[in-house]
Amino acid sequence: MSTAARPERASARLSARTVALYAIGSLGTGGYATLPGLVLTYFLTDNLGVAALAAGLIVTAAKIWDVIIDPLIGAASDRQYAKTGSRRGFMVVGALTLPVLFALTFAVPPSWGPFAGGISVFLAFLATATSFSLFQVPYVALPAELTSGYDERTRLLGWRVVVLTAAILLFGAGGPELRSAGSDQVSGYLLMGIVAGLAIGVGMLVASRTADAAAHRPEAGERPAVTPPAGFREQYAAGVRTLRRSQPFRALLGTFLLQALATGTMLAAAQYVATWVLRSEDAVTLVFLALVGPALIAAPAWTALARRIGKERAFAIASILFTVAAAMLVLAAWMPGTWMYSTIGFAGVAYAGLQSLPMAMLPDVISHDERTSGRGRAGTFTGVWTAGETVGFALGATAVSLTLAATGYVSTVAGATAQQPDAAITGIVLSFSILPALLMVASLLTLRRYRLRRADIDA
């Protein structure tokens, strides 16, 4: 490929159809990221009677499996791309298998007891996570192959986040409503699992068609400049080499991991905040409306700001705003009330930027590495990236469960009631406020080390 051809490809505008197909994939990724993080730990502790610490370990262990397999899936996706020019095969398998496995995760009845019920949920969620990774890892690799333009990637990921935000609203608010629509908690959770699983699978299947658009770009016909690794050991080694080689990737991944931990902690604590701080299990719907409604409106504004001042600066501004909002929520420990919704809404404005901007920066990191190391490693990058994101969200749930266990939270089975000690209520508030704020502050320190700018990408 000649150097003269690069500017033309960088400025080429993606078709509306390609942008729409790619964005629809966030119906799947948003649903999978939101609903289990919101209700799975609560499902274990307050429906199956699993102890809070054990519930956190179940969710974390399933996520650790993601960390193990994501680099392998990334390398396998690179091999498929080298052979066929497309990453679609893995995406389709994930989309077709996830709905059944997702429904099975919430199909376990309380009558099985905490031990058998916990093991069953763990195995079903483990299989669900595998299906999702088969889709997610190649899906995240596609923007680097769909367009070379700095601003065009921001546009592509900006619209993806609009759909992602709508999906978070749909699943975060609609999931608990589906649960309430059942004749009891057991049938309610099953209904939620079936409907949500189908919706997630459809979004993933539609988005898999975007891989064909990447396959038909001019440079898609070129064979990758590097040979994708074969063998488990070499695939993991390739991921380590990627981290060592790319300083921008280390900085961006560290920032994103810390922020995934922060948002994962808030997500896992949201249902507990609704039940024990706002004193209504159904208030979780309002919490999500407050968080995601403003984000849906703000997503295009972050795209526009990134075009004007650069992605990295806009990302820093969004991170600071989210930190301030999270820290303010600690006041709920002394005076809980409806004022919390407006503060959560303030965090929602920032949350839109936290979702779109790092995902738009990742393709820049990949293309920057390609200039010195050759094409064909996008899957390796996204395998490591997805594993890091998974670690963040998994440890978020773990942090909440450890806090609950340390403060004496009382687990129950479906239909039973319990009175929580004051220390447990305080722990819930801290998990929803101060802990995420501190993690966001740490992420700002790693973001300062990210040095790629527009000129480095469009040069």
pLDDT by 10s per residue, the chain, length 459: 333 333 334 446 888 888 889 999 988 888 887 788 778 888 888 888 888 888 878 877 877 888 788 888 888 888 888 887 788 889 999 999 999 999 999 999 888 988 999 999 999 999 999 999 999 889 988 887 887 777 888 888 888 878 887 887 788 778 878 888 877 888 889 999 999 999 999 999 999 988 776 555 544 444 455 555 555 666 666 667 777 888 888 999 999 999 989 988 887 788 788 888 888 877 777 887 887 778 778 888 998 999 899 999 999 999 999 999 999 999 998 998 889 999 999 998 998 899 889 988 988 888 888 777 766 567 777 778 877 777 777 677 778 888 888 888 877 655 556 677 888 888 999 999 999 999 999 999 999 999 888 877 766
Instruction: Report the candidate in 350, 362, 431 with the shortest Cα–Cα distance to residue 397.
Output: 431
Q: What is the pTM of this model?
A: 0.72
What are the φ and ψ backbone dihedral angles of 284, each rounded to 5 degrees? -60, -30
Whether 82 maps to a domain, the answer reads yes
Whether 113 maps to a domain, the answer reads yes
What range does the domain containing 97 cover?
22-216+230-458
Whether 360 maps to a domain, the answer reads yes
Give the per-residue pLDDT at 29.
86
φ/ψ region of 224 (left if φ > 0, alpha if ψ in -120 to 50, else beta) reads beta
Whether 147 maps to a domain, the answer reads yes
Using the 8-state DSSP alphabet, how is residue 416 labeled? Answer: -
Whether 389 maps to a domain, the answer reads yes
Question: How many residues appear in the chain?
Answer: 459
Using the 8-state DSSP alphabet, how is residue 335 labeled? Answer: S
| Per-residue b or e along 244-257, where b marks 16 or more CB atoms closer than 10 Å to that residue's CB | eebebbbbbbbbbb
User: What's 250's domain CATH number?
Assistant: 1.20.1250.20
Whether 395 maps to a domain, the answer reads yes
Whether 222 maps to a domain, the answer reads no
Give the per-residue pLDDT at 416.
59
The answer to whether 131 and 98 are in contact (CB under 8 A) is yes
Whether 38 maps to a domain, the answer reads yes
How far is Cα 260 from Cα 402, in angstroms, rounded to an integer? Answer: 18
Beta bridge partners of 413: 48
If one counts the domains in the chain, the total is 1
Give the per-residue pLDDT at 371.
78
How far is Cα 410 from Cα 404, in angstroms, rounded to an integer? Answer: 9
Q: What is the CA radius of gyration of the chain?
A: 21
Half-sphere exposure of 75 (CA within 13 A, CB side): 20
